[in-house]
């Protein structure tokens, strides 16, 4: 892990220069740029549908598509990539394990206190696994899914499929390579 962080950050916490992208991680950065490039323009009708959705709704949608549950780091990274690829604007900042959003954390806390999601603890670096709790909640999340524009469904599906088989380290490496500005606060030890 330290090697991945050192590669992405140059071994120190610092602002990266454009030249830093010209290493072996540039393929990932270009691949991510290509994924954003193919994002279509939304119609006003699409915008009207998605503007009403709260952070909690987007969390439920991601959890719906991660049926077996998802660890904290992967959940944050999938939501971050979703925002990057769709232009959805949330406040993301560099943090110990990459992009962090207080809005997402508050949404998770709210969903957990409302008993909308369940959490399980496991013995590893990522201690919490999030899942939708009950069938009614899953049905509500499916209703949210139905109103999404197809372009958003495609982005969510692609992200979930892309990262479902990746390890914790691979997910972090991908995000740090594609968005090195979010690796500057990463812990390298």
Determine the pLDDT at residue 29: 65
List, as one string, the DSSP characters of 49-105: HHHT--HHHHHHHHHHHSTT-EEHHHHHHHHHHHHHHHT-----EEETTEEE-HHHH
Residue 100, strand partner residues: 93
CATH number for the domain running over 2-179:
1.10.10
Determine the pLDDT at residue 92: 94
pLDDT (tens digit per residue) in 49-93: 787 889 999 999 999 999 889 989 899 999 999 988 888 888 999
pTM: 0.77
Crossing angle between the packed helical segments 72-86 and 26-37, to the nearest 10 degrees? 60
pLDDT (tens digit per residue) in 17-34: 333 434 455 577 667 766
pLDDT (tens digit per residue) in 101-142: 999 999 999 999 999 898 887 655 557 889 998 888 889 999
**pLDDT more than 90, % of the chain:** 32
pLDDT (tens digit per residue) in 153-174: 988 999 999 998 888 889 888 9
pLDDT of 3 over the 80 cut:
no
Determine the pLDDT at residue 58: 94
């Amino acid at each position: 892990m330290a090697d991945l962080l050192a590669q992405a950050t140059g071994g120190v916490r610092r602002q990266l220069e454009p030249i830093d992208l010209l290493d072996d991680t540039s393929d990932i950065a270009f691949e991510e740029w290509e994924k954003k490039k193919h994002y279509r323009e939304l119609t006003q009708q699409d915008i009207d549908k998605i503007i009403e959705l709260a952070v909690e709704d987007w969390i439920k949608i991601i959890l719906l598509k991660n049926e077996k549950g998802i660890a904290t780091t992967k959940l944050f990274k999938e939501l971050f990539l979703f925002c990057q690829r769709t232009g959805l604007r949330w406040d993301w900042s560099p943090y110990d394990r990459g992009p962090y959003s207080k809005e997402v954390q508050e949404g998770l806390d709210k969903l957990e206190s409302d008993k909308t999601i369940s959490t399980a603890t496991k013995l590893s670096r990522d201690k919490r696994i999030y899942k939708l709790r009950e069938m009614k909640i899953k049905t509500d999340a499916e209703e949210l899914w139905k109103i999404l524009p197809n372009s958003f469904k495609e982005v969510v599906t692609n992200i979930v499929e892309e990262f479902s088989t990746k390890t914790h380290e691979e997910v972090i490496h991908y995000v740090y390579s594609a968005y090195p500005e979010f690796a500057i606060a990463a812990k390298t030890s």
